[in-house]
Amino acid sequence: MQRLTTALAVTLLLSGCIEVPDNKLLSDGVPSIAGECIRPSASSTQVLPSSFSLLTWNIYKQQGDWQPELDRWLNNSELLLLQEARASDELHRWMHQQDYHWFQVAAFNWQGMSNGVLTAAKGQSTEVCGRRLLEPITRIPKSLLFSYYSVEGSEQQLLVVNLHAVNFSLRGRTYNAQLDIISEAIGDYAGPVIVAGDFNRWNGRRNAFLDRWVAKEGLTEALPRPDVRTRFLGYPLDAVFYRGLTLEQARSMASSASDHSALQVRFRVLPQTASGEK
Query: Rounded CA gap, 194 and 98, in Å?
Result: 22
> Within the chain, how many helices (H) and strands (E) appear?
5, 18
Measured between alpha carbons, how far apart are the two ends of the chain, in Å? 42
| pTM, rounded to two decimals | 0.91
Q: Taking the CB of residue 108, how many other CB atoms lie within 10 A of it?
A: 22
**CB distance 108 to 5 below 8 Å:** no
Phi-psi domain of 244 (left: phi exceeds 0; alpha: psi -120 through 50; beta: other):
left
Q: What DSSP designation does 192 have?
A: -
Beta bridge partner(s), residue 246 = 268
State whether the Cα torsion 235-82-257-20 is positive or negative: negative
Query: Rounded CA gap, 96 and 92, in Å?
Result: 6
Q: Of 126, 110, 66, 128, which is closest to residue 253 (Cα–Cα)?
A: 66
Neighbour-count burial of 20, counting CB atoms closer than 10 A to its CB (0-12 exposed, 13-18 middle, 19+ buried):
middle
Least confident of 112-121, 143-152, 161-170, 204-213: 161-170
Q: Which comes out higher in pLDDT, residue 96 or 31?
A: 96
Query: What is the pLDDT, as a whole number, of residue 12?
Result: 47
pLDDT band at 30 (very low <50, low <70, confident <90, very high): confident
Cα 21 to chain centroid distance, Å, stands at 20
